[in-house]
Amino acid sequence: ARLRDVLALDDFERHSKPLLPRMIYQYVAGGVETESAMRNGRQAYQDYGFTPRALVDTSARSTRTSLFGKTYSAPFSIGPLGGAAFVAYRADLALAGAARSCNIPMILSASSLIRLEDVISVNPDAWFQGYLAGDFDRITRMLDRVEAAGYRNLVVTVDTPILGNREHNIRSGFAMPIRVTPRVMMQSVTHPRWLLGTVARTFVKHGAPHFENTEADRGPPMMSRKVRNTVARDKLTWEHIAFIRKRWTGPLVIKGIISPHDAFMARDHGADGIILSNHGGRQLDYAMAPLRVLPEIASQKGDMKVIIDGGIRRGSDVLKALALGADFTLMGRPFLFAAAYDGQRGVEHAYSIMRDEIMRDMAMLGVNSVEELNESFVRKVCP
Ligand code: FNR
């Protein structure tokens, strides 16, 4: 298949699935336990239909969106994706480069295999997502490094005190560090494009990959079995958020909020934004679909920005989220499958598809800018 056969974001998953070992495909595509949180996150977008306005001159429409003092070309961005470089060659750099050329945000994951300093040199506007331990000294060391590298926007993910129950990883034999078992060997040699183009190419040019962006890193994930960055994450509390807020001068965003209570706690702790997210259904199963809590949270957000993710696959999904009060959206899996399919070019193509869908729908909705969207453009569909 070629890029011009990729017409919609879901095509990337379909086309890259046969190129990836099952363990890698499952690592990206899967959710936890019953996968209800993942399914519902996406399904919630079916709850709403549009009530468009006809006979509006939309010839000057634009998808431009401002966030934290910057104007981006579209109201969506690339969410943090840990272990991305297991999926595609130096994927974080492909994602960062595409985000730069398309002028959208890219959030680098703490669990990346690429150094945060290297990513910001490719994209000076990249945001950094931290997985932080509940330990003031370790937080300080991490923030010092992130700040020194030149990051301005900090995202702290709070839905991962420990890792969710990812049974599919156990079933497929995937682990970080990767354990070279006969099953893993078999999956690898039967996917030579991945084995040579991602794994071998990385080893030859850059050596064994490490989790580079956490001060607790203990060694290469392909070799060592020592405990890594998950240490003491379950000790992180609002006290640490208050500490980070005092210490971090740039925009601070809390990711992984679902309950309205926590949204207002984030606001009261001085967060500039939250990411309403159930981690794409990868952490707590049955965590509510972000879209279903959005209206309640958006109505009381004050100056705090509300970003939403999970299951967004169409321009229409983005427009529904914005109409219900979100300021911005993120996507995870589709961009990673796009990187697996065709590196930076694939990611840029994913961006174009999404932006074109939004532009087209804006004309048919009768809006010239994303700021014009509000609840009057959608209706809840009766079940
Ligand atoms: C993630 N996600 C994630 N989130 C985070 O805060 N830090 C991380 O390191 C990761 N790592 C990660 C890896 C992979 C492979 C996936 C698929 C997801 C969650 C991600 O940022 C986002 O919340 C979801 O992916 C959004 O759902 P969709 O768009 O994938 O449906």
List the single range of 109-123, 196-210, 216-230, 240-254 with lowest mean pLDDT.
Answer: 216-230
List the single range of 51-65, 129-143, 199-213, 368-382 with lowest mean pLDDT.
Answer: 199-213
Do residues 322 and 373 touch, judged by C-beta distance below 8 A?
yes
Q: How confident is the model at residue 225 (pLDDT cuts 50, 70, 90)?
A: very low
Q: Global pTM?
A: 0.96
- What are the φ and ψ backbone dihedral angles of 212, each rounded to 5 degrees? -90, -15
Q: Which helix (H) or strand (E) holds 13?
A: helix 9-16
DSSP 3-state of 329: strand
- The confidence score (pLDDT) of residue 227 equals 47
* Choice from 16, 109, 328 to test ligand 1 binding pocket (greatest atom count within 8 A of CB): 109
- The confidence score (pLDDT) of residue 212 equals 81
208 compared with 352, residue with greater pLDDT: 352
Amino acid at 306: V
For 7-23, the pLDDT digits (tens) are 999 999 999 999 999 99
Give the integer Cα–Cα distance in Å for 325 and 288. Answer: 17
Please name the residue whose Cα sits nearest to atom 18 of ligand 1. 81
- Indicate if the pLDDT at residue 369 is higher than 60: yes
Specify the ligand 1 atom closest to the Cα of 311: 31
For the annotated catalytic residues, the residue numbers are 279
For 79-107, the pLDDT digits (tens) are 999 999 999 999 999 999 999 999 999 99
CA of 270 to the centre of ligand 1 (A): 24
Taking alpha carbons only, the member of 248, 246, 72, 235 closest to residue 155 is 248
Instruction: Show Cβ contacts of residue 157 under 8 Å, excluding neighbours closer than 6 positions.
Output: 80, 110, 129, 130, 131, 255, 256, 279
Q: Is omega for the bond preceding 177 within 30 degrees of 0, making it cis?
A: yes
- Indicate if the pLDDT at residue 72 is higher than 50: yes
- Indicate if the pLDDT at residue 310 is higher than 70: yes
- The confidence score (pLDDT) of residue 229 equals 46
- The confidence score (pLDDT) of residue 353 equals 98
Specify the ligand 1 atom closest to the Cα of 278: 23
For 158-171, the pLDDT digits (tens) are 999 999 999 999 88
pLDDT > 70: percent of the chain: 95
Q: What is the mean pLDDT of residues 165-179?
A: 85
Please name the residue whose Cα sits nearest to atom 23 of ligand 1. 279
- The confidence score (pLDDT) of residue 30 equals 97
DSSP 3-state of 254: strand
Specify the ligand 1 atom closest to the Cα of 157: 6
User: Which residues, in sequence order, are bridge partners of residue 71?
Assistant: 66
CA of 367 to the centre of ligand 1 (A): 31
Query: Can you say which residues are annotated as belonging to the binding site for FMN?
Result: 80-82, 109, 129, 157, 255, 277, 309-313, 332-333
- The confidence score (pLDDT) of residue 221 equals 60
* Choice from 333, 335, 336 to test ligand 1 binding pocket (greatest atom count within 8 A of CB): 333
Specify the ligand 1 atom closest to the Cα of 111: 9
- The confidence score (pLDDT) of residue 322 equals 98
Specify the ligand 1 atom closest to the Cα of 279: 23
Q: What is the mean pLDDT of residues 300-311?
A: 97
Give the integer Cα–Cα distance in Å for 12 and 7. Answer: 9
- Indicate if the pLDDT at residue 361 is higher than 90: yes
Q: ipTM above 0.95?
A: yes
CA of 174 to the centre of ligand 1 (A): 17
Give the integer Cα–Cα distance in Å for 60 and 79. Answer: 29
DSSP 3-state of 227: coil
* Choice from 43, 279, 284, 307 to test ligand 1 binding pocket (greatest atom count within 8 A of CB): 279
Taking alpha carbons only, the member of 255, 183, 178 closest to residue 224 is 178
Query: Can you say which residues are annotated as belonging to the binding site for glyoxylate?
Result: 27, 131, 166, 279, 282
- The confidence score (pLDDT) of residue 142 equals 94
Q: What is the mean pLDDT of residues 191-210?
A: 93
Give the integer Cα–Cα distance in Å for 176 and 184. Answer: 12
- Indicate if the pLDDT at residue 59 is higher than 70: yes
- Indicate if the pLDDT at residue 342 is higher than 50: yes
- Indicate if the pLDDT at residue 226 is higher than 80: no
- Give all strands (DSSP E) within 161-264, no chain letters: 252-257
Q: From residue 141, how far is each of 132, 134, 138, 346, 357 by CA, in Å?
A: 11, 13, 5, 35, 42
Give the integer Cα–Cα distance in Å for 291 and 4. Answer: 31
Q: What is the mean pLDDT of the chain?
A: 94
CA of 382 to the centre of ligand 1 (A): 30
User: Which residues, in sequence order, are bridge partners of residue 108?
Assistant: 128
- Indicate if the pLDDT at residue 143 is higher than 50: yes
For 274-297, the pLDDT digits (tens) are 999 999 999 999 999 999 999 999
- Indicate if the pLDDT at residue 305 is higher than 60: yes
Query: What lines the ligand 1 site, CB under 6 Å?
Result: 27-28, 79-82, 109, 111, 129, 157, 255, 277, 279-280, 282, 309-312, 331-333, 336
- The confidence score (pLDDT) of residue 2 equals 87
- Indicate if the pLDDT at residue 341 is higher than 70: yes
Amino acid at 7: L
Q: What is the mean pLDDT of residues 188-201?
A: 96
Other residues' Cβ atoms within 10 Å of the Cβ of residue 122: 20
CA of 9 to the centre of ligand 1 (A): 16
- What are the φ and ψ backbone dihedral angles of 104, each rounded to 5 degrees? -130, 160
List the single range of 175-184, 215-224, 276-285 with lowest mean pLDDT.
Answer: 215-224
Q: How confident is the model at residue 149 (pLDDT cuts 50, 70, 90)?
A: very high
CA of 26 to the centre of ligand 1 (A): 13
Please name the residue whose Cα sits nearest to atom 4 of ligand 1. 80
- The confidence score (pLDDT) of residue 255 equals 98
Instruction: Show Cβ contacts of residue 192 under 8 Å, excluding neighbours closer than 6 positions.
Output: none
Q: What is the dihedral of CA 252, 323, 264, 65, to 10 degrees?
A: 20
Do residues 213 and 115 touch, judged by C-beta distance below 8 A?
yes
Give the integer Cα–Cα distance in Å for 210 and 69. Answer: 34
Query: Can you say which residues are annotated as belonging to the binding site?
Result: 27, 80-82, 109, 129, 131, 157, 166, 255, 277, 279, 282, 309-313, 332-333
CA of 4 to the centre of ligand 1 (A): 26
Instruction: Show Cβ contacts of residue 352 under 8 Å, excluding neighbours closer than 6 positions.
Output: 102
Radius of gyration of the chain, Cα coordinates, nearest whole angstrom: 20
- Give all strands (DSSP E) within the chain, no chain letters: 48-50, 65-67, 70-72, 76-78, 107-108, 127-130, 154-157, 252-257, 273-276, 305-309, 328-331, 378-380
Give the integer Cα–Cα distance in Å for 223 and 208. Answer: 8
